[in-house]
Amino acid sequence: MGAQQSGKGKWVRTAALAAAVAAWQIYEMVTAVEAPSQALRLLQIFLLACAGVSCVGSLIMLARPD
């Protein structure tokens, strides 16, 4: 696979990926043509919350001194 990232590099990548997923999820929710079922809406909100927590956690780990 790819080269192993150590230290802060993996947290930058994780934060960027989580932010991209959150942005994509928000875009999908805002531009939906039809209203989804309640179960799907709850799943979307849960996944958005997970992406947000992942992004914040990665940024906190990135800001921590070694």
pLDDT in tens, 35-65: 889 999 999 999 999 999 999 999 898 888 7
Residue 36 belongs to a domain: yes
Token pair belonging to 28: 């999908």
Residue 46 belongs to a domain: yes
Work out how many domains the chain is built from and give that number. Answer: 1
Of 13, 4, 5, the residue nearest 62 (C-alpha): 13
Residue 56 belongs to a domain: yes
Domain that holds residue 49: 8-63
Residue 3 belongs to a domain: no
Q: Is the pLDDT of residue 5 over 60?
A: no
Residue 1 belongs to a domain: no
Mean pLDDT of 19-44: 91
